[in-house]
């Protein structure tokens, strides 16, 4: 226990030193909001990756992998191909160059200036400010569950107290140091995370006799799949789920598609493209980012699935039974009960790093969305801009803490997927088409933004079973859990309850963006300004 405490204190010492360094180098709004546009490729790539991958990916989705098995590795594939390669090559360069042309400092400001619309800027910022605390809460829950399990026998600190302590620690350097402090600490934290995940995968495979033996062991455990999962369509942890069943729809529409595509419209990630001085840094960041994502999600999902075999070998129970039904506790229990004692302390630091790197970025983007984009409207002085952004960060922190306090167990993966999907349906068409299509109009962007948001929320509240049942609005208004709950069991209408909102809302949002733009007129002066640094 002493080793764990000393390790954490040493880690926090470095983090706050880097946070102080960021604070000392933050002299202007551009420093606070965009790290002065001077970050190098390595820092940018690790900051992007550490922001992208958090305890929600490692603990939340790692727990989901224990439940659903190896099919979640398709999300790793999309994370690398879409979240790194496509994002950096096809979105990063044009965002950086257009951001300079428009003098944009935040993601909502980028969209607002691209279409010369205060409404777009403020509505985008409102979505981010209202809903990113839910995503931040998922990350916060992940690290606090890890701390709860790790120190259960020694310190006796409750889960709720950990929520408060971690929140205060992250808030201190985000509120004072801005994006420079966030990115410096992200890079340091990313290095720690990578080292721990390499050891984790090597140890897990050695525990099961090697790669082939481990996978064969898990395959042979098909008879241990819980009856509820079998009824939902899961065949086995290596075999996957039967096509078209409820579990297949959850895996491929909510987890893989929703998160895998939604990454392209994440405001806290898009902001990173504008922090580097040239395209060269973005190109160099692809390799670093790709390897980092492979180590993070690939290892977490593989170990999550294999934890069933290890737990069964050691304790005669599969993962979900060990965690007493709460998948958010599976990875923390695996670290505490299976890994060497010395590693649990180091891994705890890695999870601290994963949580703090993502939380800091979430708090920063949520706070600046309120402070700069909603309140000040890009018109206040530098001194006042600092104050409004810092107040916005404080309110985002408070909202995230409240969500983490009230959300139920096994919610990390769901909350993350919800935010990714909502961002994709709301922002992606306007963002992508705004980068490449000069014919895209402000009216098309407005209709896409509002229409995508409304359609996504409607599906979430009245069609998608998990959220509709938990929130209860459909039951209140219509007397049934979802609008399609009365359909014949097994029919395609009945199965819509497991189709992620983003599967329907994103195409609708794209159709609105293109269709309305074709029947409206773009502002030529705004288009010329946005594309002035592009040769074609």
- d(CA 187, CA 17) in angstroms, rounded, equals 13
Which pLDDT value is given to residue 38?
62
- Mean pLDDT of residues grouped by 10 in the chain (536 residues)? 66 67 56 54 74 77 94 93 89 89 88 94 93 85 78 70 82 60 69 86 95 96 94 94 93 90 86 77 82 90 96 94 89 89 77 73 80 67 61 85 78 79 94 95 96 95 88 89 88 90 94 96 91 77
* Neighbour count for residue 67 (Cβ, 10 Å): 26
Which pLDDT value is given to residue 262?
87
Which pLDDT value is given to residue 518?
96
Take residue 281 and report the two structure tokens written for it: 């840094």
Nearest Cα residue to 332 out of 64, 491, 145, 201: 145
Q: How far out from the chain centre does Cα 239 lie?
A: 27
Torsion angle in degrees (nearest 10) through CA of 297, 53, 15, 11 = -30
* CB-based contact 465:481 (threshold 8 Å): yes
Q: Where are the domains of the chain?
A: 2-422
Query: In degrees, to the nearest 5, what angle opens at C-alpha 528 toward C-alphas 526 and 530?
Result: 70
Q: Which fold has domain 2-422?
A: Sodium/glucose cotransporter (1.20.1730)
Which pLDDT value is given to residue 381?
47
The SS3 call for residue 276 is: coil
Nearest Cα residue to 370 out of 144, 185, 208, 127: 127
Nearest Cα residue to 60 out of 345, 369, 329: 329
Residues, the chain, total?
Answer: 536
Nearest Cα residue to 190 out of 18, 65, 405: 18
Which pLDDT value is given to residue 364?
77
Predicted TM-score (pTM) of this structure: 0.85
* CB-based contact 356:390 (threshold 8 Å): no
Residue at token pair 């620690």: 169
* CB-based contact 456:524 (threshold 8 Å): no
């Amino acid at each position: 226990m002493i080793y764990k405490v000393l390790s954490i204190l040493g880690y926090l010492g470095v983090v706050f030193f880097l946070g102080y360094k960021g604070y000392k180098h933050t002299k202007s709004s551009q420093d606070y909001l965009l790290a002065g546009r001077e970050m190098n490729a390595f820092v940018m790539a690790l900051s992007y990756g550490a922001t992208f991958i958090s305890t929600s990916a490692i603990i939340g989705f790692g727990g989901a992998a224990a439940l659903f098995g190896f099919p979640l590795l398709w999300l790793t594939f999309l994370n690398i191909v879409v979240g790194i390669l496509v994002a950096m090559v096809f979105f990063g360069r044009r965002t950086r160059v257009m951001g300079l042309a428009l003098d944009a400092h935040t993601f909502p400001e980028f969209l607002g200036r691209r279409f010369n619309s205060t409404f777009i800027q403020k509505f985008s910022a409102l979505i981010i400010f209202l809903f990113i605390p839910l995503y931040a809460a998922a990350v916060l829950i992940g690290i606090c569950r890890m701390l709860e399990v790790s120190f259960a026998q020694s310190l006796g600190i409750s889960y709720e107290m950990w929520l408060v302590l971690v929140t205060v620690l992250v808030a201190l350097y985000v509120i004072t140091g801005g994006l420079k402090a966030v990115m410096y600490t992200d890079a340091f934290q990313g290095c720690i995370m990578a080292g721990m995940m390499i050891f984790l995968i090597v140890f897990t495979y050695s525990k099961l006799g090697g790669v082939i033996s481990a996978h064969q062991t898990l395959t042979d455990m098909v008879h241990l799949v819980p009856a509820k999962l079998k009824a939902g369509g899961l065949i086995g942890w290596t075999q996957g789920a039967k096509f078209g069943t409820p579990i297949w729809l959850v895996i491929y529409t909510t987890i893989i598609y929703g998160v895998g595509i939604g990454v392209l419209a994440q405001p806290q990630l898009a902001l990173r493209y504008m922090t580097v001085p040239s395209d060269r840094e973005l190109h160099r960041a692809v390799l670093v980012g790709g390897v980092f994502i492979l180590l993070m999600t690939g290892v977490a999902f593989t170990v999550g699935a294999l934890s069933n075999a290890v737990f069964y070998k050691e304790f005669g129970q599969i993962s979900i039974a060990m965690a007493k039904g709460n998948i958010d506790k599976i990875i923390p229990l695996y670290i505490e009960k299976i890994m060497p004692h010395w590693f649990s302390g180091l891994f705890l630091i890695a999870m601290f790093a994963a949580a703090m790197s993502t939380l800091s970025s979430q708090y920063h983007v949520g706070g600046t969305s309120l402070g700069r984009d909603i309140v000040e409207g890009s018109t206040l002085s530098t001194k006042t801009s600092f104050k409004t952004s810092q107040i916005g960060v404080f309110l985002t922190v408070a909202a995230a803490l409240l969500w983490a306090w009230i959300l139920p167990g096994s919610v990390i993966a769901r909350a993350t997927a919800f935010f990714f999907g909502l961002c994709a349906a709301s922002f992606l068409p306007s963002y992508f088409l705004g980068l490449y299509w000069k014919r895209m109009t402000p009216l098309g962007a407005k209709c896409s933004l509002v229409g995508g948001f409304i359609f996504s929320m409607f599906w979430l509240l009245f069609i998608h079973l998990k959220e509709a049942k938990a929130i209860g609005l459909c039951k209140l208004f219509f007397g049934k859990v979802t609008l399609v709950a009365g359909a014949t069991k097994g029919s395609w209408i009945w199965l819509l309850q497991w189709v992620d909102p983003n599967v329907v809302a994103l195409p609708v949002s794209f159709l609105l963006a293109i269709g309305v733009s074709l029947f409206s007129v773009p502002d030529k002066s705004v288009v010329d300004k946005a594309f002035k640094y592009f040769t074609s």
